[in-house]
Amino acid sequence: MKITRYEQVAEKILGLIENGVLKEGDRVPSMRQLAADLGVSVNTVKEAYWTLEKNNHIEAVPQSGFYVKKRAREHESAPLDPSQMDPQQVGLCKIYGAFQYSGKYSPELNLGVSNLHPDFWPLEKLGKYMQEALRYHDLDSFSYIMSPGYPELRNQIARLGLSGGMDLNPEEIIITNGCHEAIFLTLMTVCKPGDTVVYESPIYFSSLLLLRRLNLKLIEIPSSMKEGMSLDTLKFVLDNHPVKAVFTIPNFNNPLGFVMPDGKKKEMVRLLETYKVTLIEDDIYGDLYYETRPATCKSYDTSGNVILCSSITKTVAPGLRIGWVVPGDAYYDEITRLKTLLNISTAGINQIAAARFLKEGGYDRHMRNLRLSLKSQVVEVRNCILENFPEGTAVTEPAGGSLLWVTLPEGIDTLTIYHEALKKNILIAPGCLFSIKQRYANCMRINAGYWNEKIRKAIVYLGKLCREDRSVINAPPADDPYSKAAAAG
């Protein structure tokens, strides 16, 4: 049976409703607008709307137009269920987003992702600079600011580099959408599928997912809790494999929190120069020191062999999405080209506001206050973990950042703890996410960027789960005669 033109129009609108594009209470396009968009007559659209209204999909509001009716909610797609998502496949960030989308967000979720409480964000000043950008730089704010990015922002990032021991030229800095994009652009430029990349283990789970998605051969070198990967092991790998790049987070490492000693950084830079292997350095946490700003690996680079990636998402505000990469002459043009190809540019208004904040907004004062508060808060979270988790639990004691690596007694599976905690909207990062070899099953990463009564209760509950899991592990088998005798006696 032939479908009439008005029925085709009605099906298009119904499809938008069923797919959630048009939601309950949304105004549907006017008859004249839709007629022009679809190249049909206004009478055809009128017939389509009457059909949808008759079937209770939309309703007419006098002097206003047609709107999606409440009962159309049954046609909306169901939100993703975070409890059904595999953290080893999709990553915790996707699961965190699913909680936000489902309307089930709660502070306890922030134990699993690395971010800081909004109280630490300089919202008032950022809002002021956003408004000023709209007032005085309206064209730049809404236009493309093509790669390498806003000149004044690159000037301020070069100034920031001084504290990490770097003498950066603004012309060698490329602005990106956060540090993760900087790493992605770098890997895409330096490596091709099948190339070998070495990284320290455990490694930040999103970086691991990225490395795997790029179809690279991966070699992980276990890290010391205090100094990072063994250079003797690294040299052995370099001698026996055609390594293309080494990836490291040497300052307040994610997840272990260590700072690689300056002498070791310098030695690693020289070693990789000798082997002509590119070092990709993630310094996103470098400015979150409590006492002294550690040097970057890039500060020891004399040949352009170190590519620095960083961001202000951990120090100012995550939603700004302002990151950067310093690739050196060998890769500068290709990364600039790839950045433009990928998403043309980073949002202009964000670049302008970030530049103003770094230049005039008191970034140094903001960071002094942040470090002081964060240092105290990390101690509180760490003490709470030690007080409530099973005997034998070890917790790292970082000199910067907001992350704690928790090692539980052998036999406790933190992936099991993860699933149980998720039932209470508590999100943790189980250790298995940080390695492709299923290591660290008895470990978890806890974010100490939030601290309040709900977080304290969540940690107490996690401790209870861990103790119960250990008691099950240590319990004798059900048919053990000694257990029966003990119960009887």
Q: State yes or no: pLDDT of 6 exceeds 90.
A: no
Percentage of the chain beyond pLDDT 70 is 94
What average pLDDT does this structure show over 368-393?
97
**Which pLDDT band holds residue 480 (cuts at 50, 70, 90)?**
very low
Q: Tell me the mean pLDDT in the region 73-101.
A: 79
pLDDT at site 471: 64
37 has pLDDT over 50: yes
* Per-residue pLDDT band at 135 (split at 50, 70, 90): very high
Mean pLDDT of 279-303: 98
* pLDDT interval class at 55 (50, 70, 90): confident
For CATH 3.40.640.10, the residue range(s) in the chain are 121-361
Average pLDDT, integer, range 463-477:
75
Specify the pLDDT at position 290.
Answer: 98
- For 121-361, CATH number out of 3.30.300.10, 3.90.550.10, 3.40.640.10, 3.40.50.2300 equals 3.40.640.10
For 96-119, the pLDDT digits (tens) are: 999 988 778 888 999 999 999 999
Average pLDDT, the chain: 92
Residue 228 scores a pLDDT above 50:
yes
How confident is the model over 342-349, as a mean pLDDT? 96
Identify which of 315, 13, 389 has the alpha carbon closest to the alpha carbon of residue 156: 315
| pLDDT for res 488 | 35
Residue-wise pLDDT tens digits, 236-281 = 999 999 999 999 999 999 999 999 999 999 999 999 999 999 999 9
Q: Is the pTM of this model over 0.85?
A: no
State the pLDDT at residue 166: 97
pLDDT at 101: 83
Q: Give the CATH class of 82-111+365-474.
A: alpha beta
Task: Using the predicted structure, report yes or no on whether residue 76 has a pLDDT greater than 50.
Answer: no
- Indicate whether 11 pLDDT > 80: yes
What's the angle, vertex CA 236, arms to CA 230 and CA 238, rounded to 5?
105
Question: How many residues in total does the chain contain?
Answer: 489
Window from 28-37, 213-222, 411-420 with minimum mean pLDDT:
28-37
Parts of the chain belonging to CATH 3.90.1150.10: 82-111+365-474
pLDDT for 477 equals 46
Query: Where are the domain boundaries for CATH 1.10.10.10 in the chain?
Result: 5-75
- For tokens 């490329």, what's the residue? 174
**Arithmetic mean of pLDDT, 77-96:** 84
State whether CATH 3.40.309.10 applies to domain 5-75. Answer: no
